[in-house]
Amino acid sequence: MNLASIKQKATGLGIAADKAAKMSKADLIKAIQTAEGHSACFASKTGGCQYTGCCWMADCYAEASRRTGKGRSVRAM
């Protein structure tokens, strides 16, 4: 999902637009996860996540791999 769409989703959940504009993509997604009542776990695992229906999964694994330097390709389940 692109950053503009993520920001739109965040503001729709009541996250202030000015606050959202200052957040990184990962932090913004975590704020959305929290606002939706989910665990703020974005980019915390490179695989094996129990939330197989998560709309962030592909971006999540890619970001987690980038952060850990594993660089493996992960596709959405």
Nearest by Cα to 34 from 56, 63, 13: 13
pTM assigned to the model: 0.81
Contact between 63 and 42 under an 8 Å Cβ cutoff? The reply is: yes
Per-residue confidence (pLDDT) for residue 1, from 0 to 100 = 85
Which sequence spans correspond to the domains of the chain?
Answer: 3-35
Residue type at position 42:
F
Cα gap 40→7, rounded to integer Å: 16
| Residue 10 pLDDT greater than 90, yes or no | yes
Q: What is the pLDDT averaged over residues 72-77? A: 45
Q: How far apart are CA 64 and CA 47, in angstroms?
A: 9
Higher pLDDT, 35 or 73: 35
Please write the tens of the pLDDT for every residue from 13-55: 999 999 999 999 999 999 999 999 999 999 998 888 888 889 9
